[in-house]
């Protein structure tokens, strides 16, 4: 029982970077449009963009 739990946990940790890599472009697109509720989270305010 513990071995199955450890296998499942290691599979989640193995897939997490891949999932983040897939979601990153989506987050960037949302940050650059008005669809993202917290634009400051991903979009840096540059002095020349004011």
Q: Is residue 3 part of a domain?
A: yes
pTM: 0.39
Q: Is residue 50 part of a domain?
A: no
Q: Which of 22 and 41 is assigned the larger pLDDT?
A: 22
Span 26-44, average pLDDT:
65
Q: Is residue 49 part of a domain?
A: no
Residues 6+ apart with CB under 8 A from 43: 31, 32
Total count of domains within the chain: 1
Domain that holds residue 24: 1-42
**Residue 7, pLDDT score:** 87
Measured between alpha carbons, how far is 27 from 48 in angstroms, rounded to an integer?
A: 23
Arithmetic mean of pLDDT over the chain: 74
């Amino acid at each position: 029982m513990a071995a199955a739990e450890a296998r499942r946990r290691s599979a989640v940790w193995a897939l997490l970077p891949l999932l983040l890599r897939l979601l990153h472009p989506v987050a960037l697109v949302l940050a650059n449009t008005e669809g993202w509720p917290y634009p400051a989270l991903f979009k840096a305010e540059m002095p020349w963009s004011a």
